Structures are given as structure tokens and as C-alpha cells.
Amino acid sequence: MVITIGRQYGSGGAEVGKKLGKRLGLNVYDKEILKMTSDESGIRESYFHLADERAGNRLLYKIVQSMIPENTSPSLGADLVSADNLFRFQSAVIRKLAQEESCIFVGRCADHILAGMEKLVRVFIYADMDARVKRIREKGYYEDSEVVKNIRRMDKERRDYHRYYTGKDWECFDNYDLILNSARIGTDGCVDCILEYMKIRRYCCGNERDMIK
């Protein structure tokens, strides 16, 4: 069983993933994917950070929005460190992990990469802007006057990234099984809702760690 978590910036989606992983005893893969992909490909990790959740060829994206990069095996040729090829390496690592273990993926189009997989639970976490501003301010990432601007910037990057690599709208309900507002129920409430959903789908029973085979 695999759970994917898409999230608006500042919604607490990464926190939901970590708490859910702890409750279920599952590994949670977020930015760890970048190092693992670097180790797998032999490409310096910094290249993956530069391309992380950002659209690749922006000119192509603007010209033909319905066109998405070919989802093939990674190339070892001249385009080795292109954004599109780095995405293919990352996708290969995500698929490999999903085949080997039950786990949780945060972001990185995992919902699309693993589409059609049996026992895949696709979650999207969002929140009201006021709640997101409060969360980001508490983290101290930006000056107070820059918080809203950076929340919108990060959302746009994630929206463009998802559209570019999947051809789908990031915030479209059709992409997900469960959509939760963390501003209303908190991150703990989101975790409880996901667990209840899994029980209804019979993906787990009794003890939260007792996964159905």
C-alpha cells in the first residue's frame, strides 16, 4: 500500500505525512527522494534540488500546455542533467520504492507516477490563506512582508510542475481520493481522517500498523 500526499505550501502536508508514517510504521519520502535519486543515478544531488518541483522546459510549457514530457526510462546521454531527465530518474526511484515496500510519498507527482497501482491512496492537503501565513511565519523562512508573496510563488511552482509533468491540474479533485483542509481539523485531524478512510477501504484494520496483505 502506498499513500501520496499533495499539498499547498504552508498547509502542513509534510507534517501530515510524517505523523501518518509514525502512526502506521511506514517510511515517508519527501526530500529524501532527492538524495536517493542522486545515489541511484550518480548525478550530483544539487542538480535534483535545482529541479525539485519546478517545471522543466518552461518555454515548451508555455507554448504547448497540453504536452507533457515522454515518461520513459532515464537517459544517460547529452540530456543527463536536464530537468526532464532528472524527473525520469526520480520517477524510477519512486516506482522502485513503491514496488518494494508500503510507504508514503510527499509531493513530486507521485500520485501521477504511481497511477493505477493497487492500494494507492491519493491525498491532497490544503488550508485557508490565513492559516498558511501563520504557519510559514512561525517557521521564520521569510520577512513578514514577504510571506504571502512566497506562498503564492511556491504554489505556482508546484502547480506548473504538476501541469508540466502530468498534463493535469494540480488542484483538480479528480486527481485525489481524499481532500482535507488542515486549517479546519489540524494536521492530527488530517491523519485521523486518512486512517478512517483506509479502514473504510479495508487497507488496514484493528491496530493501525496491522496492514492487510
In angstroms, the Cα distances linking 128 to 41, 85, 155, 168, 207 are 39, 35, 13, 23, 33
pLDDT tens per residue across span 199-212: 998 876 555 555 54
Domains of the chain: 2-200 (3.40.50.300)
pTM: 0.77
Q: Which three cell numbers stand for residue 198?
A: 483506509
| Amino acid (1-letter code) at residue 65 | Q
Least confident of 21-25, 84-88, 93-97: 84-88
pLDDT tens per residue across span 100-140: 899 999 998 999 999 999 999 999 999 999 999 999 999 99
In angstroms, the Cα distances linking 164 to 70, 80, 92, 97, 106 are 11, 19, 18, 23, 18
In angstroms, the Cα distances linking 77 to 6, 35, 73, 74, 84 are 31, 21, 12, 9, 13
